[in-house]
């Protein structure tokens, strides 16, 4: 009987330690997360995206003065965005995680990642877009060859394919 109490106490302690394990991980401070953002040059990336956005909008909406778009992403708006991102990082990373990320991003390799990753992602997106288009064309061609799709890429048996509209009740 004493053995059961002893084992029960050990099991209870193990459960408490197991439950307390994740809770022992400390949440990173806002200052720590903002330091990570600074080391990763996130504010500069947002400003760069803002400039690209203003160029696109200036081209697409010529009736709006360029000065409006130029000021669309300013220091205050970037600071606001960074502040909104802090809780996200605090929810997904511990203080130890952020310390490790800071150590990495402050290293020469980390700074190379900061510099090269946007370029590699852009190039990768271009390759992915081309790959997706090629795959889609191959699929469409295979479906046309089987007769599942007609030359226009539509289902041959559908009302849309023969130009007649679907009318409910007929």
Calpha distance 40→112 (Å, rounded): 10
Torsion-angle region of residue 156: left (phi > 0), alpha (psi -120 to 50) or beta?
alpha
> Cβ distance 161 to 150 under 8 Å?
yes
Q: How far apart are CA 117 and CA 113, in angstroms?
A: 5
Q: What is the pLDDT of residue 51?
A: 83
42, 114 Cβ separation under 8 angstroms: no
Tell me how crowded residue 96 is: count the other CB atoms within 10 A of its CB: 11
Residue with tokens 């696109």: 56
First to last CA, the chain: 81
CB 132 within 8 A of CB 58: no
Residue 27 has pLDDT above 90, yes or no: yes
pLDDT score for 90: 97
pLDDT score at 63: 85
Q: Which of 68-72, 74-78, 85-89 has the lowest mean pLDDT?
A: 68-72
The pLDDT tens digits of the residues spanning 86-123 come to 999 999 999 999 999 999 999 999 999 999 998 999 99
Picking from 84, 106, 104, 97, the residue whose alpha carbon sits closest to that of residue 30 is 84
Q: What is the pLDDT of residues 118-166, one digit of tens each?
A: 899 999 999 999 999 999 999 888 888 888 888 888 888 655 545 544 4
User: Which residues touch 102 (CB under 8 Å, ≥6 apart)?
Assistant: 32, 35, 36, 39
């Amino acid at each position: 009987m004493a053995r059961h109490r002893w084992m029960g106490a050990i099991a209870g302690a193990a459960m408490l330690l197991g439950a307390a394990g994740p809770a022992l991980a400390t949440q990173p401070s806002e200052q720590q997360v903002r330091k990570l953002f600074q080391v990763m040059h996130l504010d500069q990336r947002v400003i760069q995206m803002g400039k690209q956005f203003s160029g696109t909008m200036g081209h697409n909406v010529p009736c709006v003065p360029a000065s409006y778009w130029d000021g669309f992403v300013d220091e205050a708006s970037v600071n606001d965005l960074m502040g909104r991102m802090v809780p996200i990082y605090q929810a997904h990373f511990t203080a130890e995680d952020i310390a490790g990320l800071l150590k990495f991003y402050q290293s020469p390799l980390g700074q190379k990642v900061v510099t090269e990753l946007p370029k590699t992602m852009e190039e990768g997106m271009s390759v992915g877009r081309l790959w997706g288009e090629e795959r889609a064309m191959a699929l469409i061609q295979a479906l046309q060859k089987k007769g599942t799709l007609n030359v226009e890429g539509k289902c041959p048996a559908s009302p849309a394919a023969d130009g007649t509209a679907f009318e409910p009740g007929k």
